Structures are given as structure tokens and as C-alpha cells.
Amino acid sequence: MRKTVVIAVAAAVSLGLTACGAGSASGKGGGKDGTLVVGATAVPAGEVLTYVKDHLAAKAGLKLEIREFTDYVLPNTALQEGSLDANLYQNQPYLDDFNKSKGTDLVSVVKPYLPPMGVYSKKVTDVTELAGGATVGVPGDTTNEGRALKLLAAGGLIGLKAGAGPDASPKDVTSNPRHLKFKELEAAQLPRSLDDLDAAVINNNYAQDAGLSPTRNAILLESAKDNPYANLLAVKRGNEDDPRVRKLAELLVSPEVKKFIEDKYKGSVLPVAQS
């Protein structure tokens, strides 16, 4: 049975994931004829952007080029350097940490959807079935590992010390009644390592890339309530009011895109209500 849980987070979050992105980005942002060049990971960001490009962009007078990435670093460095005009793949905690650690100056424009992180296993169908001493894979980077540990804590598997933030690590685990062992791996490797683990906490995009459905296959899944990890459209500071960026932002939170997300992902990706 899949269990959905709520992640409790501090009101001010400075770290976290994402979620993600790709090969190399070349050329200059803006493309030809005023084309908006946007970096994204394949799922779900690339699919959402492709829907916008194929069904909504022309009517809105927007020329869109999508460049896909398979890692979480290159989309931001390409955006900072100017070979992208925008990117869609990460959340606010991850962006904040990236700016702080890399000296970049990237900002959020809009947050259209949430890709919930989940716990997956090929050996058990419920987190309560995890045996004592089970090995659980977690992302090895700071922001994703903290998010993973908070999910495990929200599911009652571990306890974290009071005040543990989004950069929590195994050192912050204060109770571990099942004596779980944590194996830190690169986030993209976790789906491929499921055969060798009792369970793994996997980012949404990598889970879906591997054919795992968060709603059907996760044995523990984040809730959207009070969740700071919605993916965002990011640009370099100063470009927030670029008319092309504003058009894309409006399309990403349009009723058409909301329906596309609901119909295609059936709860595996959740549209975010706009305030």
C-alpha cells in the first residue's frame, strides 16, 4: 500500500533539490528570430514545455526552443553564462543553494508544478515491511539527501534532531528503530541500483525516466501540502520581465497546461495553485 505523507519544513528554506537536466547547451540564448531557449530535464519539464511549444506557443506569439539536460548543474551554468534564456527543472531550495555555492544570480519567475519524491522498492510493498538493517539508497548531494531524510522521517522510519534543515544528513538522525543503513549514491543512479538495495529514495524525474510511477510504485510519497519543492521557471536576474519569459510563465500556469499535467501524469506530477 502506498502511503502519502506530509513533509514538515521550516518556513524559511535555504536548501533542497531538484530536481535535473542534460547534455551540453551551445549557442547563444535567444536563438534566432527572438526564439526563447529553455533548458529542461526530459521528464516532466521537457514534456510540459513540448506541450506548450506544440499547442500554445504559436498562438501566444512565442517561439520556443527546448534543450534537454540529464544533470542538475549544467542547466544553471548555461543559464548564468547566457547560452540559455531560462530553465525549468529545479525547486527554490536547490536554486538558493546553487546561487550560494556557485556564485550565480538566478531567480524564480513562476512555479507551475510539483514532482513529488518517493521511496521505491523491488523487495517490499510497504515501508513497514522493511526489515531491520535494511539498506536504503539516498541521493548523495546535500540538498536531495536532506529532502530524502525528511521524507523518511515523515513516514516514521527515522527521527531527525530538532531544527534539522533541508541540508540534513545521516548525522542528524536521532532515532533509527529499524537500524536502517543509508547508501549515498548519485541521484541518477538510484533507479538502476534498486536490485541491490532494499529501498531507495528517488527524485521524480529519475523515477519516471526509469519507468516507475510515483502513484503506483512508490511505497512512500511526498504530499503537496506545505511542500517547498515545486519546480520553477528560472532566469538570470534582470530578465524576469523579458516579454518572452512572461509569455512562457503565463502559459505554464494556464488551464490548458494544468489539464495536460493532470491528464498525463495522473497524480505523479501535481499542478501548483497560483496565489
HEC string for the chain: CCEEECCCCCCCCCCCCCCCCCCCCCCCCCCCCCCEEEEEEHHHHHHHHHHHHHHCHHHHCCCEEEEEECCCCHHHHHHHHCCCCEEEEEEHHHHHHHHHHHCCCEEEEEEEEECCCEEECCCCCCHHHCCCCCEEEEECCHHHHHHHHHHHHHCCCCEECCCCCCCCCHHHEEECCCCCEEEEECHHHCHHHHHHCCEEEECHHHHHHCCCCHHHHCCEEECCCCCCCCEEEEEECCCCCCHHHHHHHHHHCCHHHHHHHHHHHCCCCEECCCC
Report pLDDT for 142: 83
List b or e across 219-250, with b for residues whose CB sees 16 or more CB atoms inside 10 angstroms. bbbbebeebbbbbbbbbbeebbebebbebbbe
Report pLDDT for 32: 64
20 has pLDDT over 80:
no
Q: Are strands 135-139 and 118-120 parallel, antiparallel or unpaired?
A: unpaired
Report pLDDT for 183: 98
* Topology classification of domain 3-10+117-222: D-Maltodextrin-Binding Protein; domain 2 (3.40.190)
24 has pLDDT over 50:
no
CA distance 2 to 239: 42
Question: Which of residues 163 and 53 earns the better pLDDT score?
Answer: 53
pLDDT digits (tens, 9 = 90+) for 205-218: 899 999 999 999 99
228 has pLDDT over 90:
no
* Mean pLDDT estimate for the chain: 89
**Which residues lie below 8 Å from residue 122, measured CB to CB, with a gap of 6+?**
194, 195
Percent pLDDT > 70 in the chain is 88
CA distance 164 to 187: 21
141 has pLDDT over 90:
no
pLDDT band at 165 (very low <50, low <70, confident <90, very high): confident
Check if 3-10+117-222 and 36-115+227-271 are the same fold.
Answer: yes
Report pLDDT for 31: 60
Report pLDDT for 240: 98
pLDDT band at 266 (very low <50, low <70, confident <90, very high): very high
pTM for this predicted structure: 0.77
Q: Where are the domains of the chain?
A: 3-10+117-222, 36-115+227-271
27 has pLDDT over 60:
no
Among 2-6, 31-35, 137-141, 260-264, which stretch is predicted with the lowest mean pLDDT?
A: 2-6
Question: Which of residues 12 and 124 earns the better pLDDT score?
Answer: 124
pLDDT band at 23 (very low <50, low <70, confident <90, very high): very low
CA dist 230 → 36, 92, 222, 246 (Å): 22, 7, 12, 19
Q: What is the CATH number of domain 36-115+227-271?
A: 3.40.190.10
pLDDT digits (tens, 9 = 90+) for 248-260: 999 999 999 999 9
pLDDT digits (tens, 9 = 90+) for 71-100: 889 999 999 999 999 999 999 989 999 999
Q: Is residue 244 a contact partner of residue 235, using CB atoms and an 8 Å limit? A: no
Percent pLDDT > 90 in the chain is 79
